[in-house]
Structure 1
Amino acid sequence: MIKRALKHTFTLLNVDHVKLDSRWNYKNVISPYFRLYYIDGGEGEIWDVSAKIKLEPGFLYIIPSFTLCNLVCPSHLSQYFVQFFEESSDGISLFENNRSIFKVKATDIDILNFARLLEINPGRGINRSDNPRIYEKNVFYKEYQDLNNLQSMSTFTETHGILLQLVSRFLTQEIFKYKDGGHVPVKILNAISYIQLNLSRDLSVTSLAKRANLHTDYFSRLFHQHTGERPVKYIHEKRIERAQYLIVTTQMTFSEIATQTGFENVFYFSKIFKKITGMSPGNYKKQMDMIGF
């Protein structure tokens, strides 16, 4: 018998049907959760670093977590949206190698799924502002996490099932392609999982190679061959990705975040953060902070 376990789970944050206008115009948005849209009227645009994609009726769109994007509506836009967190047993995102915006033609079942998700989760809209800098705050996250805990087992299970169905629409071979590196050795897969689960610990290339029982230089070349990145750069990216999540969803100081993500001090943390994101941790926090509170 073939046994296959589902490693990824999704937790609802927001779901709603909204009418937007030209005020929906936000630049350099990067969130620790997924966004998924179904457009049923009007038009808009979303941009990532590689492409500008038109939002048009009859299509589904997904923006994976930690994907830098711009959100624009020139006139009016009617959309269903759902925002949700992802968890995985090995700490590796389903879209690890695919952090781009994807678009697929909606089906009747997709439309019914959005309507049903909204029906069984009333009052789960943002309800404050459509500006990510305002609603992306720890207190709001906790509020919706508490709502999830109050769901009946039936609603919780159905909600998760619908999210799985909607995400599955973007897992086709045509649009969901991992980097072609051939068969990835188990030792490299193990190293990737270890990195994801131990960001606060010593992750030197030497220690990772020792765990894999490989020579340091050979391990580094093998890692680069199958991930497209050198181990140090990959580790820095994963640590900063985690730091972005902590900045947005907690009240931890930068020093605490530096320690939590494995940096020896806050100065080195700030240097690597700016190198990867293009801005300092302070400026990133200001960008995400609530305006006027």
Structure 2
Amino acid sequence: MGVHININDINLNVFAFEEVTVSSWWNYPNHNSPFARIFMVYDGVQEVRFNGKTYQHKPGHIYIVPPFTNVDYLCNDSCTQFYLILSAELPGYGSIFQLDDIQFEFPITADIQASLRTLLNQVDNVPLQNYNPVSLIYSQDLQQAQIKMSPIDEWQITAIAQLLLTPFLQSLNYEKNESIFFNVTKYIEDNLHQQITLTDLAKQSNLVPSYFSDKFLEHFKLRPMAYLQNKRVEKAQLLLTTTHYNVDIIADMCGFKTSPHFCRVFKNVTALTPKRYRESLLVKTENNNSTG
């Protein structure tokens, strides 16, 4: 039997948030970010597509967009939204938005939405200077956003983020205490920069490697070394987005033996080389909308 996730178990970081009115300039296809997003729509409708599903964002609901996922954003008319860009990591598992069988849409009452809006109006916005995810300053914004927050604002917006995440967390049930893999995933999280073997992972569960690999596959739908590889690539995506480290340094930080090996694995997972992935985040576009 699993246990519900406690908000205090989560490492929560908020990078940007504000209320903004969007329109057709918000149409961005195939965007992949290492950060999650929460949306709450006040007026109008917008559309978000990922993992083969389409979500019509409308008033009366909270919507979550997971990280490391190809997402299409679409707004044909006009829509007033509150957005929040964040990371929420569960030690030993990574992003809570990548757990199995999770929901990304939750209803809220008009009273709760009004109360949240009142709370949000009391906090100074930390907006993006440019909403275009492929603009030159977009990723630079995310690097600097937390620095702009005062301690009081950071405390307030973190509390608001926890409120917004409450229905999401109540829908989750994960096997922290009983899972033989908690120590394994925690070991991976803590040692991504090092070389890790199947034997190393099996030791964390006190199982022989072959049996461990089969049980891991049954639980995660991936073999242990494939899971490890994906986590290395996710860390690389985050570093490519939020730092100016070169490919050699990032390869080493993520535990790849050589830069060519890193580039091959990264392309196999993301369909882009690390250099092209970073360039796709920094390329200037003609339709830069810095004020919405």
TM-score, normalization: structure 2?
Answer: 0.86
Q: 2:84 maps to which residue? A: 82
For 1:132 and 1:255, locate their aligned partners in 2 and report how far apart those are by CA, in whole Å: 25
Deviations 1:125-176 (A, max 9, x none): 11x2220122432x4234222123x323xx4333222211101122344xx4
Alpha-carbon deviation of 1:5?
A: 7.8
Tell me what 1:210 maps to. Answer: 203
2:154 matched to which residue of 1? 156
- 1:111/1:234 Cα in 2 relative to 1: closer, same or farther (>3 Å)? farther
Q: How many aligned positions are there?
A: 279
Q: CA separation of 1:136/1:91 partners in 2, compared to 1, >3 Å: closer, same or farther?
A: farther
For residues 35-75 of structure 1, give each alpha carbon's deviation from its aligned partner in whole angstroms, at most 9, with x where no partner exists. 11111222221000220111223222111222221101112
Within 1, Cα distance between the matches of 2:76 and 2:261? 41
Shift of 1:184: 7.8
Secondary structure, counterpart of 1:170 in structure 2 = helix
Amino acid at match of 2:270: T
1:60-79 correspondence runs (5 A)? 60-79=62-81
Amino acid across the alignment from 1:140: D
**Counterpart pick for 2:260 among 263, 267, 281:** 267
Residue 90 of structure 1 deviates from its aligned partner by 3.7
C-alpha distance 207-114 of structure 1, shift in aligned 2 (>3 A): same
* Structure-2 change in CA distance of 1:118 and 1:282 (3 Å): farther
1:113 paired residue among 90, 96, 116: 116
> What is the identity percentage for the equivalent residue pairs of Structure 1 and Structure 2?
26
Q: Is the 8 A contact 1:67 1:100 kept in 2?
A: no
Counterparts of residues 191-210 of structure 1 (less than 5 Å)? 191-210=184-203
Which residue number corresponds to residue 188 of structure 1? 181
Amino acid at match of 1:76: S
For structure 2, list consecutive stretches of 5 or more residues without a partner in the other structure. Answer: 1-5
Structure 2 residue aligned with 1:35: 37
Matched residues in 2 for 1:92 and 1:266: separation? 24
Is the CA contact 1:38–1:81 (under 8 Å) kept in the aligned structure 2? yes
Whole-angstrom distance in 1 between the partners of 2:7 and 2:72: 35
Aligned residues of 1:37 and 1:80 also touching (Cα < 8 A): yes
2:256·2:262 contact (CA, 8 Å) conserved in 1?
yes
User: How many Å apart are 1:191 and its aligned residue?
Assistant: 0.6
Aligned to 2:141: 140
CA RMSD of aligned residues (A): 2.5
| Higher RCO structure (Cα 8 Å, ≥6 apart) | 2
Is residue 91–residue 186 contact of structure 2 (8 Å, CA) maintained in 1? no
- 1:78-128: CA deviation from partner (whole Å, max 9, x where unpaired): 1111112324444622223249771122222234224413422x24111x2
SS at match of 1:61: strand
Cross-structure match for 1:8: 10
Q: SS where residue 56 of structure 2 aligns?
A: strand
TM-score where L is the length of structure 1 = 0.86
Residues 129 and 159 of structure 1, relative CA distance in 2, 3 Å threshold: closer
SS at match of 2:134: helix
Residue 94 (structure 1) aligned with residue 87 (structure 2): no
1:212-291 → structure 2 map (5 Å cutoff): 212-291=205-284
One-letter amino acid of the counterpart of residue 151, structure 2: Q
1:185, CA displacement in angstroms?
5.2
Aligned equivalents of 1:42, 1:117: Cα separation in 2? 19
Distance 1:204 1:111, change over 3 A: farther
Give the Cα separation in 2 of the matches to 1:239 and 1:123. Answer: 33
Conservation of the 8 A alpha-carbon contact between 2:21 and 2:79: yes
Look up the SS of the partner of 2:94 in the other structure. Answer: coil
